[in-house]
Structure 1
Amino acid sequence: METILFMIIVAIISTIFGKAKRSQGQSEKKPFSANGMEEIRTLFKELTNNEPAETTPIKTEQKAVLAQNNNSNLEKEYLQVRQESESSRMVMTASRLQSEKVKEQTMKAIQDESEIIISKDPDPKTLINGIIWSEILGEPRSKKPYFAKRG
């Protein structure tokens, strides 16, 4: 039981020292720096709080200025995104109105053409074209056999 606890403690200490070396950018062959205990404390704070520990203390005035700058940056970003969305919404509305106008124009053109095509006295060429198109668009030949199937 004691050996397991000892191994766990050694593993934790070795990971802490390994992280401290990597965070300073030192290679593993160089000796550990003189302020090792302070590095261990900051790493312990990071591990327990799940937040990066501050190595240099920041004054409350500086914190207030940073918070205000962050808020103003967020407000600027929000306003920019809002303006972009409004402009894209206006473009979409304009394109929708334009497509509706085009649809109305095409519907009017189709109605005008249908009135022109239908006439009371068609010429023979138009009748022949109608018969040909009825054969092309009609029921397929496989559905109209020449003789009935014998069963």
Structure 2
Amino acid sequence: METILFFIIVGIISTIFGKSKRTQGQSPKKPIKVSGMEDIRTLFKELKNEVSLPAAPIKSEQKVEVLQKSNRTLEQEYNQVRKESESSRKALAASRLQREKMKEQTIEVSKDECEPSISMEPNAQTLVNGIIWAEILGEPRSKKPYFPKRG
């Protein structure tokens, strides 16, 4: 509830300040002056001419050198990324193998733990545990009523 009120107040304040900024400058409904469009066109033409005509002409030999340098740096970056990806793939594969080995070991350990060790001579604690389990797993209480039905 408080957050909704907060958003409403923020919306009202932003609307008030937005209107005051519009009234100070030009109205958004006024058309753009034609001279302004001409200024924009001249700026675009100047930018276009600067991009297409470099300040100093570059010789073809310099262009070849620049291209070779850029190719070398691209090759170096490619090789570096390739090595990193190969190393990460190897690390992932190693971690997968390690996880699989650990799963196999835990399965083997759990199989060993599941096999009960039977001894022919039980001790006192084993006998107590047997009685407790017999009581737990024995006949339910509902089958042993306190007062048998008289018939």
Where do residues 1-151 of structure 1 align in structure 2 (5 Å cutoff)? Answer: 7-8=33-34, 10-15=35-40, 42-45=46-49, 53-116=53-116, 119=118, 123-127=126-130, 128=132
Q: 1:44 to 1:78 in 2, by over 3 A?
A: closer
Distance 1:130 1:84 in 2: 62
Question: 5+ residue gaps in structure 1?
Answer: 1-6, 20-39, 135-151
CA-based RMSD of the aligned residues comes to: 3.2
Question: 5+ residue gaps in structure 2?
Answer: 1-32, 138-151
How far apart are 1:125 and its partner, in Å? 3.8
Percentage identity across paired residues of the two chains: 40
Distance 1:77 1:131 in 2: 73
TM-score, normalisation: structure 1: 0.52
How far apart are 1:44 and its partner, in Å? 3.2
Higher relative contact order (CA 8 A, sep 6+): 1
Match of 2:18? none
Q: 1:113 to 1:130 in 2, by over 3 A?
A: farther
TM-score, normalisation: structure 2: 0.52
SS at match of 1:116: coil
Deviating runs (4+, > 3 A) in structure 1? 119-127, 129-132
**Contact 1:16–1:43 (CA<8 Å) still a contact in 2?**
no
Q: 1:106 to 1:11 in 2, by over 3 A?
A: same
Size of the aligned set, in residue pairs, is 100
How far apart are 1:116 and its partner, in Å? 2.7
Distance 1:71 1:86 in 2: 22
Superimposed CA distance per residue, residues 86-114 of structure 1 (whole angstroms, 9 cap, x where no aligned partner)? 11111111111111111111111000000
